[in-house]
Structure 1
Amino acid sequence: MTRYETDEWRDGAWKGPFGDRFMRTLATPKLMLVRGEGARVWDVDGNEYLDFLAGIAVNSLGHAHPALVEAVTAQVGTLAHVSNYFSTPPQLELAERLRRITGAGESGRVLFGNSGAEANEAAFKLARLNRTGPHGRRTRVLALHNAFHGRTMGSLALTGKPPMREAFEPLPGGVEHIDSTIEALEASIDGHVAALFVEPIKGEAGVLDLPDGFLERARELTEKHGALLIVDEIQTGVGRTGEWFAYQRAGILPDAVTVAKGMAGGVPIGALVTFGWASELFSQGQHGSTFGGNPLATAAGNAVLAEIERAGLVQNAARRGEELKQIIRDLDHPLIDAVRGHGLLIGIGLTEGEAHRLSDAALAEGLIINAPNESSIRLAPPLIIGDAELAGFRERFGRALAAV
């Protein structure tokens, strides 16, 4: 039991204070959670839930994993923060891990921040540094319709969702959004393009895959015209899709990749990793972060990545993801239209706009899932799930479907 499991917040008593104390950027949450273990969490009233969202693909090792608890406890007992005027061993170790698992190798460089949005802000600035091309100044940055890259002003400019953007316009300029087709790539990329930003799977759009061959063609065209290929792996990276990174499934290397979410298992962190010539674009003083790469966050990142590797969790994500998709198909419910995604990032397309009703029904059955829009369900459970969790999902999701 934690110190928060008291009568003070039970029976919804926390909802009024929440509404009073926080800005109205979010609806009142459905639950107050107080503790977790593995793939399960408990609310303030003592109810248990099977967590198949994992903090939106963040809690790679689930909750309260011993490897993460031990690493964070040890690090906060020595150095938690020193600013970027100094280096620390966990910072250097994590940078080398990222160079290795991304494939950036010895030419790769790492810039640490605190979130996915910050990583994409840094990538946007990187794109602006790719200034000159064979036809003069590069003024164009391409991104995809319906993609999501963050809510800061720069990352929002890259985000291809007009309703999210309109209240904050004018946004940083020079960004053009194109369709997610090979034909659109071929029509759009020329010598004036500084960079192409791509989500290999559009998580916030309902876990939508890119067309076959899209990343390969994007790599060919950006190399031909000297544009940066920047892959946003905030949600898809760190083993989530059954590879360390989703672009590895296409057999390519980008010029830069942004990483966050699952890298430190719940401790805030983000990173921009550059490859080859892109590593030479930033110069001293052009970007930085007070907290970026601090010893606490990087110690957490090292612990999470080491445990993913030790326990074979990338392979587990690939195997369990296929099993989970088959469970969903075997339910054979008329509301289920499609099952999408790779590894343990799975989207369920619905025949009717009942996603929010279905996610609420699942919550009532003790299952946490997500409805990113009215026609899609998103699943992103911890990478540690096994037979027991899959059986629990089958039972609880089946009851939720029956209740809708």
Structure 2
Amino acid sequence: MDEPDFRFLAEHAFDMICEVDSSLVMSYTSPSCEQLLGWRLEEMVGKGPDVFVHPEDLPAVAMAHEALMRDGYDRSPTVVRMRTKPGGYKWMEINARVVSKPADKQGYHVVLVMRDVGFRRERAADSRSRAAQGDSRASTRGAHGQASSEWDECFYKTFRLAPVPMFIATQPVIGLVDVNTAFSDTFGYSAADVVTRTAVETGFFSRLQHERLIATIKTLGYAKNLEVDVRHHDATLRHCLASAETISIHGQRCILAALQDLTEQRHADGDLIAALESVMSDASWFSRAFIEKLAQVRKRNGAGTLAAELTDLTQREYEVLSLMCKGLGDSDIAAELSISSNTIRNHISRIYDKIGIHKRGAAIVWARERGVSVDAGHVEKPAGNRRR
């Protein structure tokens, strides 16, 4: 990622983003640092953890630094107390990752992502205290402040524990702010891999799909079941449905997105179509009941999401497709409709282009899913925006 891109994402993240050198001396911190701890950028640059971390937590920092140098990333977050400018300390959860310097510079640097987790510890301590004392009185905090804190905690826990892969990103550029555990488990990216980077820079979205998702959200305000290919950390592609809503977090306009992995289902469908194609040179032996059952199974499994519908076909194309469903070959369809085989092949080619399918067996299943009749006699296309 270019330096301007990194700074843009860091400056719009609600977590605190820092850059330190190999000695953990601060070289950059995002504006959220002043909101969380009260320190300005110039007050932190050039200083190490001994200035800002509670003395009792410095051994934990040293251990985490040693593991970071060995593995290149945090296997688990480090939680320490960070000194605030007004006085006192805040509990901060830190994720870190080593990033190489460009070729013209020496060494490496470390990107730190810090999150305030004090509210979680405070509530846990409050709960233990009330339980020990048998005190059922309400918290001394105001009702509004308490409700807001509880909602923040509820959202954070729900996001983290959701079984569906999810991520939070900034707008208008999809710059990753956070990912949940299911996202890491499904696609192989840890939070340190993606936070402060765009979806394209990370590589799990192509630029085209990134632009499609942005355009959809800009137009509708949300996205639902948008088909995307997500690149796994191991470079394999996962076929997914993406849904997203716009949300506001600490005043920052963001996207909350969920991904449904359909890869295994697609593989199963592909195997089925491949087997079907291997015998479709003579489809006459397929019974109507078999074709209908096959179409029902595919519909239950989520097939039929193509935008094309029967109304996109002309009357003649519909007639040709219906005869294909009856198991007739090109020459038989030509005889049935009293036109040449070349004309039939042209019709079939246009059908394939319109429905986004390029194999006979798949086209037959597509047609049966949409109720194409194979009854003898005149074939009439369903009513709609009929095209000639």
Q: Which category describes the TM-score, using the shorter chain as reference length?
A: under 0.3
Q: Which has the larger radius of gyration?
A: 2
Q: Which has the higher helix share?
A: 2
Q: Which has the higher contact order (CA 8 A, sep 6+)?
A: 1
TM-score (norm: length of structure 2):
0.23
